[in-house]
Amino acid sequence: MTNRIDRAFADLSAKGRKGLLPFVTAGLPDLDTTQRILESLADLGVTAVELGFPYSDPIADGPIIQESFTRVLECGIRVRDILAMVARFRQKSQLPLLAMLSYSIVHRIGLDTFVRQAAQAGIDGLILPDLSLEEAPQAARVVADAGLCLPMLISPVSPRQRREKIAATCSGFVYYMSVAGITGERKQLPPDLVDNVREIRQASGRPVVVGFGISSAEHVRLVCSAADGAIIGSALVRKMMETMNGGANSDAVVNAAADAVREWMTGLP
């Protein structure tokens, strides 16, 4: 059976379209609201959603996503709770979902066990920012055997040989970081971004999706002039938290997320 991520990008390619992959912190402000946000984003026609599993020690997470993780962890939400929500969502929707989480969480649970649980819940792929390149081949085999994909991150400062090795190991798509460092909104994207994406796309033969620093429809338009899709995380999480901080109810948080994504989708070619 073809993975939902692979099907989504094959469908985009066939239509000559590009995709938007929003990042949503699981459990912000609660898991019922997260499920409703996923349902609203599915209705908007996003390509996939990155579901962030909160973790106490930030990896590449900027201050906004880190704050959202802290809020969720203070509520006592656990990995099993998030997977249970995914299973409920999967009964209603076929929207591709990627679990983005620290490999230390996976390692603690056990690679085989976690991948099996994720697949059973309805997760389609794992993004593990702190997975070492040395451990990646084993993880890739386990993930592939379960029918999931393993997109991996390529930094703009990675040497060519390392980029090629990462692209050859990963599956689903290549996650290109527009900037080195942590996630977060930025006013401008690097001038060499488009050239780097084209080079990786040609060398890997895989779809390339760009994340880190993307925060406007204009950014989406620029990125997707070369890439197959764009990821927006911090800007979306910020809008959700601003709505929450204003004392609004969960309906307003869902609407704020949907309105923001709807605006960013206007940048898609």
Catalytic member of 30, 43, 61, 164: 61
Residues in the chain, how many?
A: 269
Give the 3-state secondary structure of the chain: CCCHHHHHHHHHHHHCCCEEEEEEECCCCCHHHHHHHHHHHHHHCCCCEEEECCCCCCCCCCHHHHHHHHHHHHCCCCHHHHHHHHHHHHCCCCCCEEEECCHHHHHHHCHHHHHHHHHHHCCCEEECCCCCCCCHHHHHHHHHHCCCECCEEECCCCCHHHHHHHHHHCCCCEEEECCCCCCCCCCCCCCCHHHHHHHHHHHHCCCEEEECCCCCHHHHHHHCCCCCEEEECHHHHHHHHHHHHCCCCHHHHHHHHHHHHHHHHHHCC
Give the 3-state secondary structure of 150-171: CCEEECCCCCHHHHHHHHHHCC
Contacts (Cβ under 8 Å, ≥6 apart) of 112: 142
251 is catalytic: no
**Beta carbons of 25 and 64 less than 8 angstroms apart:** no
32 is catalytic: no
The residue type found at 254 is V
Catalytic member of 30, 32, 50, 228: 50
Which active-site residues does the annotation give?
A: 50, 61
